[in-house]
Structure 1
Amino acid sequence: MPIKLTSIPSILVGLRFVLALLLFFDALDHQTSWFFILAYLLAVFSDIFDGIIARRLNVSTIQLRQADSWADICLYLCVALSIWLVYPQVLIDFRLPLLLAVAAQVTLFSLSLLKFRKFPSFHTYTAKFWGLTLLIATVSLFVFNNSVPFWLAIALCYLNSIEEIVMVLVLPIWQCDILSVFEAMEKRKSLLLEADSVKEA
């Protein structure tokens, strides 16, 4: 049975869930093979192209974007678990900045749940840059045994968390695919104007 073009973004999101679990299973013996980096790169490329293809095919639904966010969480959780299994000392060395990063993300998700009853799914520019720095840091660690780039990834996590926390506070209703805090400000204005016009009508 041929695959429909419109199904490709969903397939790529599902593939990322599968690859995330395979990364974890590859690290269970406290070492990784060439497959780990190959699968991780494939997962990152699936993350890049699922959104691009979805917009081109006009199938970028809220459900798909939320699933994309969950796939990202699953991927990086499995990467973190893999690092703990293979390079536990790295997580110990970075424990304080990592705990602060986790606290920032938990704050973001908690605020979004409290205000909107949904997890955030903004896909901001800072999130994209954060993903890029995570790619560099992960490849650097698993290929070159170098953990220094994690400082940059952690810094981008702080920046992204702060921006998205402000966006959650600013926006009156849940929104996805808001690329920056400046776009969130503009969206807030348009939503409030729309609400005022409805009241006047």
Structure 2
Amino acid sequence: MIQLTKIPSILVGLRFAISPLLVLDALDGQTTIWFIVGYIIAVISDIFDGIIARRLKVSTVKLRQADSWADICLYLCVAISVWLIYPQTVLDFQIPLFLAILAQLTLFTVSLIKFKKFPSFHTYTAKIWGITLLIATVALFGFDYTKTLWLAILLCLINSIEEIIMTLLLPEWQCDLLSIFHAINLRQTEITKIKSLSE
């Protein structure tokens, strides 16, 4: 019998397992209904792993970092699948896609330079971005509709900029910090502590 405390880790592992299967389904230049089904299951696992982990009080830094890596793996595999199935769409959106990728790489670089760790904030904007990615991916692979990609790219840029600023603001690496306002409050708290200790 599966221990309840293992469920968040299993959900993260499920996302890792599904990701390469998406690429495998796209290798022949087309996808089956299982691509969308698998992707939706992966997104649902992403939603509930954090919720369940917090409810069970097992939301550790290690688990949240694994969650972030699972997200990267999933969306990298989705991006590869888009290139395999819809190369013209990638070319049509090449400039905004390049800006989105550049923004994400800048975020990773800033975090690695400052903290020697990848970011793992799980902000509100990241959650909204995830929803727009779900809509855009289902629209593209299910209905050959590309317009919703603009919304996903816009939210990627907003999220990246917010998390870059948060990374620059924070004195120490943090995970599960929901917004730039939380980062500002945490920074002010840390500054107050330092001042009180120096007096």
Q: Is TM more than 0.5 here?
A: yes
SS, match of residue 96 in structure 1: helix
TM-score, length-scaled by structure 1: 0.97
RMSD: 0.9
Matched residues, percent identical?
A: 65
Q: Distance in 1 between matches of 2:11 and 2:45?
A: 5
Report the alpha carbon displacement of residue 176 of structure 1 after superposing the two structures with TM. 0.5
One-letter amino acid matched to 2:153: I
Cα deviation per residue 1:118-161 (whole Å; 9 max; x = unaligned)? 00000000000000000000000011100110000000011001
Matches within 5 A, 1:71-82: 71-82=70-81
Q: Partner residue of 2:190?
A: 191
Q: Distance in 2 between matches of 1:104 and 1:66?
A: 20
Q: Distance in 2 between matches of 1:118 and 1:5?
A: 29
Matches within 5 A, 1:44-193: 44-193=43-192
One-letter amino acid matched to 1:128: K
TM-score, length-scaled by structure 2: 0.98
Q: How many residues align?
A: 199
Report the alpha carbon displacement of residue 198 of structure 1 after superposing the two structures with TM. 4.4
Cα deviation per residue 1:85-134 (whole Å; 9 max; x = unaligned)? 01111101000000011111111000000000000000000000000000
Report the alpha carbon displacement of residue 199 of structure 1 after superposing the two structures with TM. 4.6
Q: Distance in 2 between matches of 1:118 and 1:175?
A: 10
One-letter amino acid matched to 1:142: F
Report the alpha carbon displacement of residue 163 of structure 1 after superposing the two structures with TM. 0.4
Q: Distance in 2 between matches of 1:123 and 1:97?
A: 23
Q: Distance in 1 between matches of 2:152 and 2:11?
A: 24
One-letter amino acid matched to 2:120: S
Q: Distance in 2 between matches of 1:89 and 1:118?
A: 35
Q: Distance in 2 between matches of 1:75 and 1:34?
A: 17
SS, match of residue 26 in structure 1: helix
Q: Distance in 2 between matches of 1:24 and 1:198?
A: 54
Q: Distance in 2 between matches of 1:199 and 1:50?
A: 41
Q: Distance in 2 between matches of 1:124 and 1:189?
A: 19
* CA spacing shift, 1:190–1:99, aligned 2, 3 Å: same
Q: Distance in 1 between matches of 2:125 and 2:153?
A: 12
SS, match of residue 141 in structure 2: helix
Report the alpha carbon displacement of residue 196 of structure 1 after superposing the two structures with TM. 3.6
Matches within 5 A, 1:33-44: 33-44=32-43
